[in-house]
Amino acid sequence: MTDETPLKGVARIEAYLKTLPDGPGVYRMLGADGTVLYVGKAKSLKKRVASYAKSGGHTERIARMISETCEMLFVSTASETEALLLESNLIKRLKPRYNVSYRDDKSFPHILLREDHPFPQLLKHRGAKTTKGHYFGPFANAGAVNRTLNTLQRAFLLRSCSDSVFETRTRPCLLHQIKRCAAPCVGRIDEAAYRELVDEAERFLDGKSRAVQEKLVTEMQAAAETLDFERAARYRDRIRSMSHIQATQGINPSSFAEADLFAAYAQGSEVCVQVFFFRAGQNWGNRPYFPRQTADLSLGEVLETFIGQFYDERPAPALLLLSDEIPNRELVADALSLRGERKVQIAVPERGEKHELVEMARTNAREQLARRTAENSAQRELLEGVADLFGLESIRRIEVYDNSHVSGSHAVGGMIVAGPEGFEKGEYRKFNIKSTELTPGDDYGMMKEVLTRRFARMVKEDDADAKAKRPDLALIDGGPGQLAIACQVFADLGVEGVTLAAISKGAERDAGYEHFHLPGKAPFRLDQKNPVLYYLQRLRDEAHRFAIGTHRKKRSKAIGTNPLDEIAGVGAARKRALLQHFGSAKAISSASLADIQSVGGLSSTLAKKVYDFFHPGG
């Protein structure tokens, strides 16, 4: 019996050639531990894989990928278009090490005008479009949506409150007082008049802003002619608000109504792709992306791969404007048309307004990449300083921990992550303190629970992803006590290869007087002008901000919860009747069954159910 060394690299790839079909499909290259190294598509799987088996002629990235390949998986498809769609989906889902990929863990926000209520609500929406209504977007980020919503409230006076708040209002809220809502909740406007406001908002967001403004100008002039100056002033304010929206949107094109614009710029091995969103003839913001593994690719190749992933889970508009020609323009257009069930055109404009917009976006990409390069250089220097401070060869990932609570209530722990590219907010984690044995306000016990849950999972999961997320430095917000707890957790779990440190404020709790604590060493301070100290303060403050923010959200949610919401059969109208009768849920809890039965609109059965909810076993 002989031991055969498993094939690897070119030899392993050659072994597949005899059985591969001469047709379209997708292939995956896997490493020794089963990790997907690369995903590719091919018009002919046999010819594409044969190109990897040739000696020489490969870029450094591809040569390294070939040498690490221990296995390959194949999927045949009916057409090259289907192969392109599958390739984009797999790259987005698996994030292979050697593919061009980008971070995009959030969907784009939209504005939703709900249509499932007599008085439609205007609100920000992110995620699946399950609510009945009209969706306007995408917007580049939440900030762009919030600014637009804020101004739309002034222009169209549509409600933004939830249905439960709407049903329980007895007098106008502050938004009505500051002229941002028509107050339909208390009958200050009837359904027909409110519908006119809704129709105007829809037309404005559909790009018919000029017609809406002309209508309001006419009504303003008519009000002024009848000496109704108060109503004329309201129209004037609404017109100004609409003009403000258009001004803040910057460049609004005249040669097309709907398009996404992609402009790429490269400097060295780094690439920035700027994406601009145009809808209803309006600019709805832009966002920069920095794809990785682009060093040996042309800008056109980067854009082609990027676009395939970008539209993997979202429909493409009718027109895409690109800064550079992509290798398979017609194939990509056909794939996007198939996925979105609409005709999609891809253009690389060379003159006119579209070309000017593309050049403007390319300038933005160049400037954004320059800023990122400068920031990354400074970030690397700071990480090198932190590594020297704590005796590490290098630092790739720092995790910082902090807790937040008020007298032990609504306790949460927070973990933030920083690395060569700054704060990695997609890696932040919150920990709701679950232990029922902790004394309220026991910071040591809370820190022990947070660290145990984080590092027990890391020790248990020994795959490539867990190894990539192993921190080089775990920084605790606290003093010797918190550090001792962390050391105990590491010893109990057998955590190795992670440096522990704690940062505590000085006697007067002033910034600049922080003490650093390491296991088995005396506390020390850094010079107040040391940039490494500023950086560690930023990390500590970010962890503190994240923990406090998480705690406040949890507390606000608890405060906003009404016990009546948990009783089956008590809807908005009955809840309103109960609260109007008794004044508060606390008063209801102490009311007798007869008192509850006296509330109009409640049957005796439901009244008994409400009483039993507050008096279990009574």
In this structure, the answer to whether residues 518 and 416 fall within a common structural domain is yes
In this structure, the answer to whether residues 515 and 408 fall within a common structural domain is yes
Average pLDDT over residues 7-23: 87
Q: Is residue 376 part of a domain?
A: no
Q: Is residue 151 part of a domain?
A: yes
Given this model, what pLDDT does residue 2 score?
Answer: 45
Residue 357 makes CB contacts below 8 A (sequence gap 6+) with 251, 253, 261, 276, 321
| Amino acid of residue 274 | Q
In this structure, the answer to whether residues 76 and 119 fall within a common structural domain is no
Q: Is residue 295 part of a domain?
A: yes
H or E element at residue 271? strand 270-279
In this structure, the answer to whether residues 125 and 242 fall within a common structural domain is yes
73 has a pLDDT exceeding 50: yes
Q: Is residue 212 part of a domain?
A: yes
Average pLDDT over residues 232-241: 70
Given this model, what pLDDT does residue 408 score?
Answer: 54
- Quick: pLDDT tens for 207-221: 665 666 667 677 777
Residue 583 makes CB contacts below 8 A (sequence gap 6+) with none
In this structure, the answer to whether residues 270 and 208 fall within a common structural domain is no
The mean of the pLDDT values for the chain is 83
543 has a pLDDT exceeding 60: yes
Q: Is residue 385 part of a domain?
A: no
**With pLDDT > 90 as the criterion, what percentage of the chain qualifies?**
22
| Backbone φ and ψ of 408, nearest 5° | 90, -10
The strand order across the sheet containing 25-30 reads 36-42, 25-30, 71-76
380 has a pLDDT exceeding 70: yes
Instruction: State the DSSP code for 7.
Output: P
User: Which range among 150-159, 223-232, 415-424, 484-493 shows the weakest confidence by mean pLDDT?
Assistant: 223-232
Given this model, what pLDDT does residue 1 score?
Answer: 41
- Quick: pLDDT tens for 425-434: 888 998 888 7
- Per the structure, the count of domains in the chain is 5
Q: How far apart are alpha carbons 348 and 262 in whole angstroms?
A: 10
Give, in order, the Cα–Cα distances in Å from 310 to each of 137, 259, 262, 316, 427: 16, 14, 11, 9, 21
User: Tokens for 200?
Assistant: 């105007």
Q: Is residue 326 part of a domain?
A: yes
300 has a pLDDT exceeding 50: yes
| Amino acid of residue 551 | H
What confidence category does residue 569 fall into, taking pLDDT thresholds of 50, 70 and 90? confident
Given this model, what pLDDT does residue 245 score?
Answer: 56
Partners of 403 in the β-ladder: 413
In this structure, the answer to whether residues 305 and 323 fall within a common structural domain is yes
Range of the domain at 578: 563-614
Spatial CA neighbour of 478 closest among 390, 387, 547, 386: 547
Query: What CATH number is associated with residue 551?
Result: 3.30.420.340
| Last residue within a domain, chosen from 61, 94, 127 | 94
Q: Is residue 377 part of a domain?
A: no
Return the higher-pLDDT residue of 1 and 565. 565
- Quick: pLDDT tens for 313-322: 788 889 999 9
Return the higher-pLDDT residue of 613 and 516. 516
In this structure, the answer to whether residues 516 and 552 fall within a common structural domain is yes
User: Which range among 138-147, 329-338, 508-517 shows the weakest confidence by mean pLDDT?
Assistant: 508-517
Average pLDDT over residues 541-567: 75
Inter-residue contact 134 to 115 (CB < 8 Å): yes
Inter-residue contact 585 to 564 (CB < 8 Å): yes
Return the higher-pLDDT residue of 20 and 221. 20
Query: What CATH number is associated with residue 311?
Result: 3.30.420.10
Given this model, what pLDDT does residue 565 score?
Answer: 72
| Last residue within a domain, chosen from 226, 248, 270 | 248
Query: What CATH number is associated with residue 35?
Result: 3.40.1440.10
Q: Is residue 387 part of a domain?
A: no
Q: How far apart are alpha carbons 172 and 157 in whole angstroms?
A: 13
In this structure, the answer to whether residues 468 and 529 fall within a common structural domain is yes
47 has a pLDDT exceeding 80: yes
In this structure, the answer to whether residues 536 and 415 fall within a common structural domain is yes
Q: Where are the beta strands (DSSP E) in 484-581?
A: 499-504, 515-517
Given this model, what pLDDT does residue 491 score?
Answer: 92
Given this model, what pLDDT does residue 99 score?
Answer: 86
- Quick: pLDDT tens for 76-107: 998 888 888 888 888 888 888 888 877 665 67
In this structure, the answer to whether residues 310 and 338 fall within a common structural domain is yes
Q: In 3-state terms, what secondary structure has residue 390?
A: coil
Given this model, what pLDDT does residue 415 score?
Answer: 93
In this structure, the answer to whether residues 221 and 193 fall within a common structural domain is yes
Average pLDDT over residues 463-472: 74
| Last residue within a domain, chosen from 558, 573, 590 | 558
Average pLDDT over residues 141-146: 78
In this structure, the answer to whether residues 171 and 240 fall within a common structural domain is yes
The four Cα atoms 200, 205, 210, 212 give a dihedral, to 10 degrees, of 0
Q: How far apart are alpha carbons 19 and 72 in whole angstroms?
A: 12
| Amino acid of residue 480 | P
